[in-house]
Structure 1
């Protein structure tokens, strides 16, 4: 029996690696691929369970897709498998972003722009398709339609990083009042294990104190990214302005052009969008040489991913009991609806600057057709875009 479990865990980690190498875009895009491989193909978890986990991770700070796939690993094999899942999922994107940081000073800006010429509209198409695909699964009532539309309008009109957590919480609150439409379930007293919550707070305080005492740049970078990872509600789209304000505008570790290059490259990188932290952390320590850049990447990566991991480990232990409360289950409808609207708004905002570019428009349409018909695997679509960009370069 134990050997069978080990084999299943190895197969699961292989699937995580495949996803880490082929998932492009944000958490909603990742979710569609999680559903295909982890639910439909290998049945590690049910569709309802993964949607519940995704909704739960939406209201926690940190990288949503990373927390979701780590939570699945936790359910399958406990903390050990969860930490292995986190490592396998994060590694490819982080390595790519570190290499990009090491080589960014040697790449001509115009060459980089040409190389990503088709990738940017493809990224917009992925986000549109994600909003459509997830919407088909979660938008089932008039209330959810209204919440989706309102959250999309709000996010489009008010380009603030605070809109995402506000509307996710408002969506959950709005549908929680529909608790009487859900069947009653026998509830047990909720036993909360505080260890991971204490760990989350403890690591933050310890890193702040250690950085202040030692003035060590790697320690201070870890604390900076750990703090940002603890505040980033809503995924990578929220993280980017947080990092820009701190590391470009305030600390001047990077130039605006360097940061925007990282934003373009991370759209090409597989895995979590939060891997942009490796790029920023690496360039923040470029004065230390190559070893310093690698150390900066490691400090930033650990700092950005650990807080969200500690928090999901804290909540997942009592989530099964918490969701037995009808108000909690009812709130998931609004959380998913608001998330869909926010995703659609992000796609529209990103599409606007390229709306008059015929090549970009055609690229988006062709990519949507390929995604809908599933004629070409996702990774081949991305590599095709890179190949066309390389020809231009």
Structure 2
């Protein structure tokens, strides 16, 4: 086996390991990515990681999944990137589809058993606070960046519309790009050349799914179009996606009950991998009338619809990113984009806490989770498993 093939094999093995151990959403995932992909393996430099992360935050879709694919593209081109994508999303997709099957079974056979996830949501906030601390320490290095972060957090909290996120990112990027003269000059190897096929693919699928859904009224095609449209428009990660899915599939289409959706959300915080995998859970329950095959097909439709648009877009941009970042205003803009992203992360922690009852038990689990992550070497899976176990015990003995 050639050295190159061994390197690709190790890369996919590392992605698989992350896919089954990365808890806490994309920001918590960044710390693990930095440790394994940069410090241990040296696939890319730390500066490259932060640049790619900023690039993914500028695009709609699942940032962690886009980042994994972008790193795969850098290491071994598009073929390795697509393999990395599959390896990264498959465990979470299978787990959330299985969760939908389990929830449906429990509802039919064990009423009231869904309370086992009662402690997972406050624990997820603890994960996000810990991730925010680590990420801010890396990305916010100047007074201007600190101010941008606080403004972004304030605006994101009080105006939690998904349309505000791209505006904030744009403003943040522009506000620091004016300091481009502080950036060192880099020689341009070649004029900027944009390859459009992946952009056309993204737009073509969006239009085609809408047309076919409107003509055929097929439940499967309409379901795919719903997820693909959401995946094409959502900036700010899985926490922004959740209220959109709730509105569309619970309030408007009534494919799920509120209890089913919120239980699925809690489970999505308790499993490793991309937080966008909740789409597989929603898709599976949306097709429950088809039996077991309906659950499986719905889970695959949810995954394909929610992940594909972001992947098409990152593969479009990554091909000319190295040429684009040579321009000093572009590199200067990354400081503002990173700062705004950190502000969104702070707001996400507040917005997640808002619907929780502000009681001592929820606050205890938030602080306990943060403290274990900060001051102990207990692994994330062990912390989550402990929360689920306590939820089960509470449900059967104290509820």
CA distance in 2, matches of 1:216, 1:117: 36
Matching residue of 2:66: 67
Query: Retained in 1: the 8 A contact 2:236–2:344?
Result: no
Query: Retained in 1: the 8 A contact 2:119–2:365?
Result: yes
1:310 aligns with 2:312: yes
1:11 Cα offset (Å): 1.0
Distance 1:212 1:158, change over 3 A: closer
CA distance in 1, matches of 2:114, 2:37: 34
Matching residue of 2:298: 296
> Secondary structure at 2:2's aligned position in 1?
helix
Matching residue of 2:245: 243
Query: Retained in 1: the 8 A contact 2:117–2:263?
Result: no
CA distance in 2, matches of 1:384, 1:169: 41
Q: How many residues align?
A: 391
CA distance in 2, matches of 1:102, 1:273: 19
Matching residue of 2:361: 359
> Once structures 1 and 2 are overlaid, which stretch shifts more, 57-66 or 291-300?
291-300
Structure 1: 4+ residue segments shifted above 6 A: none
The unaligned stretches of length 5 or more in structure 1 are: none
1:352 Cα offset (Å): 4.4
1:196 aligns with 2:195: no
Matching residue of 2:36: 37
1:354 Cα offset (Å): 4.8
Normalised to the residue count of structure 1, the TM-score between the two structures is: 0.95
Normalised to the residue count of structure 2, the TM-score between the two structures is: 0.94
The 5 Å alignment of 1:177-326 reads: 177-187=178-188, 188-326=190-328
Query: Retained in 2: the 8 A contact 1:284–1:296?
Result: yes
The 5 Å alignment of 1:74-93 reads: 74-93=73-92
CA distance in 1, matches of 2:68, 2:150: 28
Q: Deviations 1:208-264 (Å, cap 9, x if unpaired)? A: 222233332212211211111101111111211221222222222222222222211
Distance 1:368 1:90, change over 3 A: same
The unaligned stretches of length 5 or more in structure 2 are: none
Query: Retained in 1: the 8 A contact 2:61–2:307?
Result: yes
CA distance in 2, matches of 1:64, 1:161: 15
CA distance in 2, matches of 1:85, 1:77: 10
1:110 Cα offset (Å): 4.0
CA distance in 1, matches of 2:241, 2:355: 21
CA distance in 2, matches of 1:350, 1:249: 19
CA distance in 2, matches of 1:344, 1:382: 21
Query: Retained in 1: the 8 A contact 2:103–2:114?
Result: no
Matching residue of 2:15: 16
